[in-house]
Chains A and B, each alone.
Chain A
């Protein structure tokens, strides 16, 4: 009998120890969502539309399941047309996931026929020599790697300086990564500190509070920078940290940019938490280049625009690369 009583009380106590699962109502989540986006999104004018005013005024359905709530909030974020704005939920990442779908690619999947050799130096860098020329080619595939991986550029440049006359840097399809990596990569192409622009961070957009404008410098990391002509090729997929790299390169006098306008996402995102643990990524900074241009949403316009058409693609002609070779040829003459 005593044993049964002990067992019953043990079961009673153990079941009482079960952690209560707290349910958070949708209204709290949506309130937090609006608070975060109106406080930390650096471009509040994008929120001042009839669509957002209407959506803010609508009460949220309390019976909406969390997955549908995620889809609803994702649709709201879609209308900002900003690929740095996402909502991370347990099911999927919502908001602007199809941002790049409307853009046309400006590169070939395989353009190896243009090179004597094209080798992977690491996950981020491909290096080669363009056929029948004295031009080197570097493709930077991503900046989503630690900035130390770009220190290899130092040795590459040392080789290229003595064996090549010009350089093509291809950042087409590079959707960015770490800004530090982009600046580190650019720092091997300058002999002196160069200002690439100024940045400020949004403290509270509701109160129009921003940090002061801070200059951004590209500081030299090498004793033997590449001081011969450089052409940077871009397309609409060149985005985020990759655009930082392009802006940094444009601050050097020996660099020309060709291709298509970049994606238009130079703002640095901040990740905020919602009460239910979802994460909200928001563009939190404003960057202007040396010409006073903020390329967020617009993209950086190249010095020479060249966009591949379907005919070029079917003939496997990398016309932006061909133009780069032509420009470097003519500059050499």
Chain B
């Protein structure tokens, strides 16, 4: 029943969008919500003893596409495939409140969408992001095995870019380095649903305050369009949970970047 619903939903979406790209985040999001809703309706009479209220360590790796545009680098859109490594530690402070610390490292080699590629021998942008997040989450609502939590925290990000190109119009290879340090405050919500050995959920974050440092200058921004959506499910096998997730991250400030990726990892609970 569940899977039939998912497949029907998927096909409906595909038809509606005339085979449009499924990776656009709105579609997996709506599918995932439908999936969760069906699970919830079908199993709301059951109660499972499984709990997330324990120390957790998670390590994962993700692959996906990244799109970037920044006038300081170029007039072109860059895109490429990113690799993201994540390590996360989560431990409960009380029954309701959990502390989470996450370190994330992304690398990508991005290529510009050049208007006149014939002028260049090569052109690429090395992208490296290291992101450290700390947050507190508090359970605000529990119904059977579904939990709604709200989160507040902050993250520090460091973006490093290395633009390298060799134009046929110029004798030398040109290399430019750019770096941005960013501090964000984040606010978000988390819904997770435990169904026996399977846990699914969704995280959503917005960034009400951001400041960034670039070339000795600091800039600030309030309520910009930066947001993150994380859909995940994990399956428990003995003591280890195997996790898969889809993440969409978008930021428009101080430069535009969007990241879609699928990740796989393990979660160790004590």
Inter-chain contacts of A277 with B (CB < 8 A) = 114-116, 118-120, 167, 169
Collect the chain B residues with CB atoms within 8 Å of residue A304's CB: none
- A277 to B118: give the CA distance in the assembly, Å: 9
Residues of B in contact with A, size category: 10 to 19
The answer to whether A32 and B169 touch (CB under 8 A), given A90-B119, A276-B116, A277-B119, is no
Q: Which of A22, A24, A90, A275 contacts B169 (CB 8 A)?
A: A90
Q: How far is the CA of A276 from the CA of B115 in the complex (A)?
A: 6
Give chain B interface residues in 127-180, CB to chain A under 8 Å: 165, 167, 169-170, 174
B-side interface mostly: loop
Are A24 and B115 in touch, CB under 8 angstroms? yes
Report the separation of the CA atoms of residues A212 and B215 in the bound assembly, to the nearest whole angstrom: 10
With an 8 A cutoff between CB atoms, is A26 at the interface? no
Count of inter-chain pairs, beta carbons less than 8 A:
43
Q: Which residue of A lies closest to B165 (CB)?
A: A273
Contact B115 A279 (CB under 8 A): no
Whether a CB of chain A sits under 8 angstroms from the CB of B217 is: yes
| Contact yes or no, B75 A275, CB < 8 A | yes
Q: Which of B74, B215, B216, B217 meets A273, CB within 8 Å?
A: B74
Q: Would you call A273 and B75 a contact (CB within 8 A)?
A: yes
Residues from chain B with Cβ under 8 Å of A274 in the complex? 75
- Is A209 close to B, CB under 8 A? yes
Taken together as a complex, chains A and B put the C-alpha atoms of A90 and B76 apart, in Å, by 19
Between B74, B75, B215, B217, the greatest number of chain A beta carbons within 10 A of the residue's beta carbon is seen for: B75
* A89-B75 CB under 8 A given contacts A276-B115, A277-B116: no
A32 contacts B75, C-beta separation under 8 Å: yes
Considering only CB atoms, which chain A residue lies closest to B72 in the complex? Answer: A39
Contact for A271 among B114, B118, B170, CB less than 8 A: B170
* B71 contacts across to A, CB distance below 8 A: 35
Q: Are B216 and A88 in contact (CB under 8 A)?
A: no
Which residues of chain B have C-beta atoms less than 8 A from A273's C-beta? 74-75, 165, 167
B119 contacts A271, CB within 8 Å? no
Min CB distance, A301 to chain B, in Å?
32
Residues of B within 8 A of A90 (CB): 119, 169
Q: State the Cβ distance, A96 to closest chain B Cβ, in Å.
A: 16
Assembled-state Cα–Cα distance A211/B215 (Å): 7
Residues of B within 8 A of A209 (CB): 215, 217
- B217-234 vs A, Cβ < 8 Å mask (1 yes, 0 no): 100000000000000000
A13 to B95, CA, bound (A): 62
* Distance A323 CA – B265 CA, assembled complex (angstroms): 78
* Residue interface mask B111-126, A partner, CB < 8 A = 1: 0001110111000000
Find the A residue at minimum CB distance from B76. Answer: A275
Measured CB to CB, the closest approach of chain A to B115, in angstroms, equals: 5
Task: Closest A residue to B168 by CB, please name it.
Answer: A90
B115 touches A275 (CB 8 A): yes
Report chain A residues within 8 Å CB of B116.
276-277
Q: Name which of A32, A273, A278 has the most chain B CB atoms within 10 A of its CB.
A: A273
Q: Which residue of B lies closest to A278 (CB)?
A: B169
Report A34-59 residues with CB < 8 Å from chain B CB: 35
Instruction: Let me know if B115 and A22 touch, CB within 8 A.
Output: yes
- Report A255-295 CB contacts with B as 1/0, cut-off 8 Å: 00000000000000001011111110000000000000000
- Report which of A89, A211, A278 forms a contact with B216, defined as CB distance below 8 A: A211
The minimal Cβ–Cβ distance linking A140 to chain B, given in whole angstroms, is 21
Say whether B216 contacts A212, CB under 8 Å.
yes
- Shortest Cβ gap from B92 to chain A (Å): 46
B169 contacts across to A, CB distance below 8 A: 88-90, 277-279
Other contacts beyond A273-B165, A275-B76: 14, CB < 8 A: A22-B115, A89-B169, A90-B169, A203-B215, A203-B216, A209-B215, A211-B215, A271-B174, A274-B75, A276-B116, A277-B116, A277-B120, A277-B167, A277-B169
15 contacts between A and B (CB under 8 A): A24-B115, A35-B71, A89-B169, A211-B216, A271-B170, A271-B174, A273-B75, A273-B167, A275-B76, A276-B115, A277-B116, A277-B167, A278-B169, A279-B167, A279-B170
